[in-house]
Amino acid sequence: MATLSHCLPSITSQHRRLFFRFKHRPIQCSAAAERQALFNRIAPVYDNLNDLFSLGNHRIWKRMAVSWSGAKEGDNVLDLCCGSGDLAFLLSEKVGPNGQVTALDFSKEQLQIAASRQRMRFKPCYKNIKWVEGNAVDLPFSDSYFDGITIGYGLRNVLDRPKTMEEMCRVLKKGSKVSVLDFNKSTHPIAISFQDWVIDNVIVPVASGYGLGSEYEYLKNSIKEYLTGDELEKIALEAGFSTAKHYEFSGGLMGNLVATR
Ligand SMILES: C/C(=C\Cc1cc(O)c2ccccc2c1O)CCC[C@H](C)CCC[C@H](C)CCCC(C)C
Ligand SMILES: C[S@@+](CC[C@H](N)C(=O)[O-])C[C@H]1O[C@@H](n2cnc3c(N)ncnc32)[C@H](O)[C@@H]1O
């Protein structure tokens, strides 16, 4: 059984207590383990490259996603596939000291960075964040537990998206929302060509300079294999959500699914 505390020699006991034990199944499937390893490898440069490649725009997109989740003061919310914690920190400010944020990811390196950011940029409300090492397809939470969920650039990367949708529906209270932010799998030829051109000619060459060329090649392929807005709405309804609406923005490059349990 893996506990994150074994892998975190540099964090304080206060922060170590913030991690739950990962009681659920360890990652056994080799495809999932490869993906986990990829996100561990990019963790040290992940935040800086997001700022650089999106010209800071990812911060705006993440604020929009939090707003779409309907999270409010005092809520108990989940940020799934939290990575280095951007959405969790925004949720923390939104729900305030009387609320609670649980932020889950399967990458130890990303969680380690999230915890160190929590220490360094300390705001009183950040005490309300708990970091959890776990798998999005098998959530360690009881039914109807959360008032809202965000998942930013996460659903595209999980191997079993319908199961992840079902899990999110299961742990949400009735009437509460999930906000799923990601690249939009556009059907417009100009948006597709622009996205491909930027990734091939800017993102992959720059990332190659950090030894991460293949990791960012994966990003391009994962967008191609992702779901369109219509397909996302369909899997949300099939998973048990009562309504589902996908919004496109930033010239059709990004998309956000909002589904209500
Ligand atoms: C925060 C963003 C992406 C996170 C992200 C998601 C993934 O699945 C990855 C997989 C593998 C490697 C890295 C990632 C990853 O970083 C969104 C913004 C960051 C993008 C890298 C920037 C995308 C640029 C657009 C194609 C065009 C930008 C136009 C902008 C308005 C200037
Ligand atoms: C592109 S990052 C997004 C991080 C963060 N949400 C953000 O917007 O910056 C995708 C994250 O999903 C996590 N992830 C992918 N598949 C997962 C799974 N099955 N269970 C838990 N986390 C997963 C990765 O470890 C990675 O941190």
From residue 6, alpha-carbon distances to 1, 17, 19, 106, 177 in Å are: 11, 12, 11, 15, 35
In the reported structure, the alpha carbon of residue 193 is separated from the centroid of ligand 1 by a whole-number distance in angstroms of 15
Asked if 183 and 156 touch (Cβ cutoff 8 Å), the reply is yes
Burial class (CB in 10 A: 0-12, 13-18, 19+), 21: middle
Question: What per-residue string of b and e applies to 131-159 under the rule 16 or more CB within 10 Å gives b?
Answer: bbbbbbbebbbeeeebbbbbbbbbbbbbe
ipTM: 0.96
Residue nearest to atom 10 of ligand 1 (CA): 219
Distance CA 9, CA 224 (A): 39
What pLDDT does residue 124 have? Answer: 79
What pLDDT does residue 12 have? Answer: 33
Residue whose CB lies within 8 A of the most ligand 2 atoms, among 35, 101, 157, 165, for a mutation test: 157
Q: Would you write out the chain's pLDDT as a tens digit for each of its 261 residues? A: 233 333 333 333 333 333 333 444 566 679 999 999 999 999 999 999 999 999 999 999 999 999 999 999 999 999 999 999 999 999 999 999 999 999 999 999 999 999 999 998 778 789 899 999 999 999 999 999 999 999 999 999 999 999 999 999 999 999 999 999 999 998 889 889 999 999 999 999 999 999 999 999 999 999 999 999 999 999 999 999 999 999 999 999 999 999 999
Token pair for 111: 């969680």
What pLDDT does residue 121 have? Answer: 79
In the beta sheet, which residues pair with residue 147? none
Residue nearest to atom 25 of ligand 2 (CA): 107
What pLDDT does residue 26 have? Answer: 60
In the reported structure, the alpha carbon of residue 97 is separated from the centroid of ligand 2 by a whole-number distance in angstroms of 25
Nearest ligand 2 atom, CA 39: 25
Distance CA 176, CA 24 (A): 25
Token pair for 203: 């993102």
Domain spans in the chain, listed from the N-terminal domain onward: 4-260
pTM given for the model = 0.91
In the reported structure, the alpha carbon of residue 253 is separated from the centroid of ligand 1 by a whole-number distance in angstroms of 10
In the reported structure, the alpha carbon of residue 150 is separated from the centroid of ligand 2 by a whole-number distance in angstroms of 12
What pLDDT does residue 9 have? Answer: 30
> Which is it for the CA torsion 32, 34, 37, 41, positive or negative?
negative
Among all bound ligands, the one having the nearest atom to the CA of 158 is: 2
Residue nearest to atom 28 of ligand 1 (CA): 54
Q: Which residues 6+ apart lie within 8 Å of 135 measured at CB?
A: 24, 25, 27, 32, 106
Distance CA 245, CA 130 (A): 29
> Which is it for the CA torsion 103, 104, 110, 113, positive or negative?
positive
In the reported structure, the alpha carbon of residue 50 is separated from the centroid of ligand 1 by a whole-number distance in angstroms of 6
Residue whose CB lies within 8 A of the most ligand 1 atoms, among 42, 110, 153, 197, for a mutation test: 153
According to CATH, what is the number of the domain 4-260?
3.40.50.150
Query: Does the beta carbon of 65 lie inside 6 Å of ligand 2?
Result: no
Query: Does the beta carbon of 137 lie inside 6 Å of ligand 2?
Result: yes
In the reported structure, the alpha carbon of residue 153 is separated from the centroid of ligand 2 by a whole-number distance in angstroms of 7
Residue nearest to atom 10 of ligand 2 (CA): 154
In the reported structure, the alpha carbon of residue 18 is separated from the centroid of ligand 1 by a whole-number distance in angstroms of 29
